Amino acid sequence: MRYSYTWLVLIIIGLYLTSCHTSVKEENWQLAEIPTIEEVGQDNMPAEIAPVKAPFETIVFTKPVFPDDTIRVDLSEDKINTSTIQDAINQLSLNGGGTLILPVGEWLSGRLELKSNVNLHIPEGCTLKFSAWVKDFQPGVFTRIEGVEVMSLGACIYANNQQNIAITGGGQLVGPSASKGDIRERIERSDVIENVVASGLAVEQRIYDGTQESGSIFPPMFISPINCKKVYIEGISLDQTAFWNIVPIYCNDVIIRGVKVNSVGIKRGDGIDIESSSDVLIEYSTLNCGDDCFTMKSGRGHDGLRINKPTENIVVRYCLAQEGHGGITCGSETAGMIRNLYVHDCVFQDTGVGIRFKTRRPRGGGGENLIYERIRMNLKHTAFKWDMLGGELYVGELARRLPALDINELTPKYSTIFARDILIEKATHFVKVYGIPESPLENLQIENVEANCTNFFYAHDIVNSSFKNMNLTANDSIIELVDARNLSFENIHFNTTNAPIQLSVTGELSDSISIDNCTNIMDQNWVADKMN
């Protein structure tokens, strides 16, 4: 069934791409119009949501509607305002819903829990700061941290099993202080989470809210609805998070638009992480992050397989990623699968990696049917990167490429990935693939690319993939392939400052690599017997 699905996806995407682009002779291809930094991000958000056109079926994304009931609360400048705000949320929801408007000014709160049919409106001029003390987030609530279910502090703004909820306005949220309080001092850092949380324990016994003997916690995310339907987040700015910023978990029908995130310098300060959620639209948002910017995740290892919920039917458009490890990233938690992701008309400016894929041998799942179009990149590192092995610090000997291992339930796979009309203004490498020998990257297609890079191409463990219609400029002259087979390079102009392109192919499995209608490299078909 998996192979049938993949071939069906290939046919559907091929038809979609054909319908969206004018047919030209491949040797005369043209790059599509690609947005500039002045055309994307929070500052360019329109009032209304334009219809979504994606190469897979999506819902019709609409703004939520709330009853007319409106509450304006008075808050204290000298005291923590958690109970005042929470009581108003609870009352509104009990009465059928409405909008809670916070006053202009600076206010302090502990954890808030959104309830059904309530719009928490944080207007321009309002700054809502969150406590730096663990006690203001207790008791622990059900949540998921790095792909593993636990009872912990949840999020500064949290919701569970609610529907039709919103956070709106042009105001600012500020996370727990780094200079006082105990949240950042008590974060569990002894090991990776799967080695800390016993998978055999029932979730309600996995308590990390500061009340256990060790006193350690998993830090609160900034905004994290879990098991919610119809979630709307618009216009707000987030600063100084203790952990990931906006994290819908097990949610459906989510819209995130016009938000701004600043978590530069904060380890694990991801911007927007979509976790095992479906039918999600992210648009006109600007992220500056201490880790990955726009990220798709679906659970980790055995715990993620137990839940087995994919992240699927996600559209990211007209967004700006600035500082951060990755502009748009899949993984590394992939157990429930990431599929049907469409990223288009975005700009990655001064980001580390542009389009990034991560997983690990013990993470499970993987990703498929991932589509990227009309992306502008000005990067510190690599444009396209697959990091599928990780480091020994986190996964031990499983990070070693060889020997190839037997495939098991935790072996992840990335396949059926399309990228088209990509402008890379600056990067180190154009493509880097660190694949898994027993589960190589498969069915990658990249076409219509203008790129200025330091290096061209390095890949190990990649199969059945193609690269065509490109103008590539780089300082080096090497395409290095290890255990690569069934690859094609077609209609590519290689512009080098040194010698013509050299094709370096190694690995016992390497075979069937074709070079056709390319400049500055000899057209040839490379086959395995050439190694002998």
Q: Report residues of the chain scoring pLDDT below 50.
A: 1-4, 7, 9-26, 531-532
- For residue range 330-381, list pLDDT tens digits in order: 999 999 999 999 999 999 999 999 999 999 999 999 999 999 999 999 999 9
- For residue range 144-189, list pLDDT tens digits in order: 999 999 999 999 999 999 999 999 999 999 999 999 999 999 999 8
Residue with tokens 């609160």: 220
248 within 8 A of 271, measured Cβ to Cβ: no
Q: Is residue 456 part of a domain?
A: no
What is the C-alpha separation between 302 and 298, in angstroms, rounded? 12
Residue 11: both structure tokens together: 């046919």
Residue 177 lies in domain: 61-228
Residue type, 134: V
What was the pLDDT predicted at 530? Answer: 53
Three-state SS for 222?
A: strand
What is the C-alpha separation between 154 and 486, in angstroms, rounded? 47
Cβ neighbours of 461 (radius 10 Å): 26
What is the C-alpha separation between 357 and 297, in angstroms, rounded? 11
Q: Is residue 155 part of a domain?
A: yes
Contacts of 428 (CB under 8 A, 6+ apart): 379, 380, 381, 382, 453, 454, 455
Q: Is residue 265 part of a domain?
A: no
Residue with tokens 């992050």: 289
Residue 340: both structure tokens together: 């049907």
What is the C-alpha separation between 3 and 10, in angstroms, rounded? 11
Q: Is residue 207 part of a domain?
A: yes
Q: Is residue 217 part of a domain?
A: yes
Residue 24's DSSP bridge partners are none
Q: Is residue 189 part of a domain?
A: yes
Q: Return the beta strands (E) in 4-76 as ranges.
A: 70-72
Please report how many Cα atoms fall inside a 13 Å half-sphere around the Cα of residue 282, on the Cβ side.
Answer: 32
What was the pLDDT predicted at 22? Answer: 34
Q: What is the pTM of this model?
A: 0.94
Residue 56: both structure tokens together: 């897979």
What is the C-alpha separation between 305 and 477, in angstroms, rounded? 43
What was the pLDDT predicted at 528? Answer: 79
Contacts of 213 (CB under 8 A, 6+ apart): none
Residue with tokens 């495939």: 407
What was the pLDDT predicted at 17? Answer: 42
Helix (H) or strand (E) holding 10: helix 2-20
119 within 8 A of 168, measured Cβ to Cβ: yes
Total domains in the chain come to 1
* CATH code of the domain in which 126 resides: 2.160.20.10
Torsion on CA atoms 278, 150, 154, 138, rounded to nearest 10: 160
Residue 4: both structure tokens together: 């049938």
Q: Is residue 132 part of a domain?
A: yes
Number of separate helices (H) and strands (E) present in the chain: 5, 33
Q: Is residue 509 part of a domain?
A: no
What is the C-alpha separation between 9 and 503, in angstroms, rounded? 31
Residue with tokens 């690990």: 360
Before 403, cis peptide (omega within 30)?
yes
